[in-house]
Amino acid sequence: MAHKLKVALLQETNQGSREANLDAIEAGLRRAAAAGAQLVLLQELHNGPYFCQHEDVAEFERAEPIPGPSTQRIGVLAQELSLVVVASLFERRAAGLYHNTAVVFDRSAQIAGRYRKMHIPDDPAFYEKFYFTPGDLGFEPISTSVGRLGVLVCWDQWYPEGARLMALAGADLLLYPTAIGWDPADETAEKERQRDAWVTVQRGHAIANGLPVLACNRSGFEAAPDGGRGIAFWGSSFVAGPQGEFIARAGDTGTELLLAEIDLARSEAVRRIWPFLRDRRIDAYADLTRRYRD
């Protein structure tokens, strides 16, 4: 009854230009396909540096329409290599209207679906509220030939609500393209707490929803354009199963093509022993739509 799915997470460092990054992605997709992967998850905003370290209107030049040149290049590869690919782009929707958008291809150059990042962070060195309008497509899984993909993006990973809404809509997997890292000024113990929290909360979504979770994070140090301390992206991409168990883990530095095999049939087996969806108290959850219960 096993239903195996071979996945690959392409954890990359910034190569210095869009073309160089897309060249590295193309090489990664070819390696993933050669290794038998059926689905490849790329990291957040993989076409360039993490430009949100400062607020500068010039950075909007990085945005592009969807469909556009990057989706065209990646789509052609998805078709040629017969891969499901989850990409992450800076979307120019209109003048003055931009999103942080994940795009899914299903073994075809056509776009199978998109997800616009719903929760937008803003804290020192992560000034995303300046760049990204919060998503308006809701939490909707994207149907593909390998299953329904519950694609979320980075800051979303801290929100049980997003994972739950994807699960309730029939997601088979939760997938997080991510760009998260350390402030080099933080102490080692604080750095470890942060990374461990990032891993743990996402494993928690796997457990609470009985679904595998894939998180693909950027790696490498990126200097701040404005003389700040920069960010040491911590890599540590991982795949967890529906009990939160680790299936594969990448290192915390450098490029890595993380391969893993997921048994999708295990999700239903786990949900039978732990039928959390059965017992949700939907009669008592109305206040989840309140800002605060004061």
Tell me whether residue 12 is one of the annotated catalytic residues. no
Binding residues among 241-280 for its own copies as defined by CB under 8 A: 243-245, 273-277, 279-280
Give me the least distance between CB of 270 and its own copies, in Å please: 9
Check binding of 121 to its own copies (CB under 8 A). yes
**282 binds its own copies, rule: CB under 8 A:** yes
Q: Which two tokens stand for residue 122?
A: 């803003």
Nearer to its own copies, 181 or 244 (CB): 244
Please state the closest distance from residue 210 (CB atom) to its own copies, in A: 10
Residue type, 207: I
Q: b vs e for 153-166, b when ≥16 Cβ sit within 10 Å of the residue's Cβ?
A: bbbbbebeebbbbb
* Gap between the Cα atoms of 107 and 100, Å rounded: 23
Among 91, 117, 128, 256, the active-site one is 117
Cα separation, 223 vs 54, in Å, equals 11
Looking at the Cβ atoms of 58 and 136, the one nearer to its own copies is: 136
Q: In 122-222, which ranges are E strands? A: 142-144, 147-151, 173-178, 181-182, 213-217, 219-222
Catalytic site includes residue 154: yes
Indicate if 6 belongs to the active site.
no
**Which of 154, 216, 222, 256 is labelled catalytic?**
154
Distance from chain centroid for Cα 105: 15
- Encode 181-206 in three state secondary structure: EECCCCCHHHHHHHHHHHHHHHHHHH
Looking at residue 156, what DSSP letter applies? Answer: G
The answer to the question of residue 185 lying near its own copies (CB under 8 A) is: no
- Using CB under 8 A as the binding rule, whether residue 285 contacts its own copies is answered as yes
**What does 48-107 look like in DSSP terms, one character per residue?**
S--GGGS--GGGGGG-B-SSSHHHHHHHHHHHHHT-EEEEEEEEEEETTEEEEEEEEEES
Among residues 34, 57, 95, 284, the one that binds its own copies under rule CB under 8 A: 284
Q: 95 or 187: whose CB is closer to its own copies? A: 187
**Does residue 292 interact with its own copies by CB under 8 A?**
yes
Residue 160 binding its own copies, by CB under 8 A: yes
Judged by the rule CB under 8 A, the positions of this chain that interact with its own copies are 118-121, 123, 134, 138-139, 155, 158-162, 164-165, 168-170, 193-194, 196-197, 200-201, 203-205, 207-208, 243-245, 273-277, 279-282, 284-294
Q: Which residues are annotated as catalytic?
A: 44, 117, 154
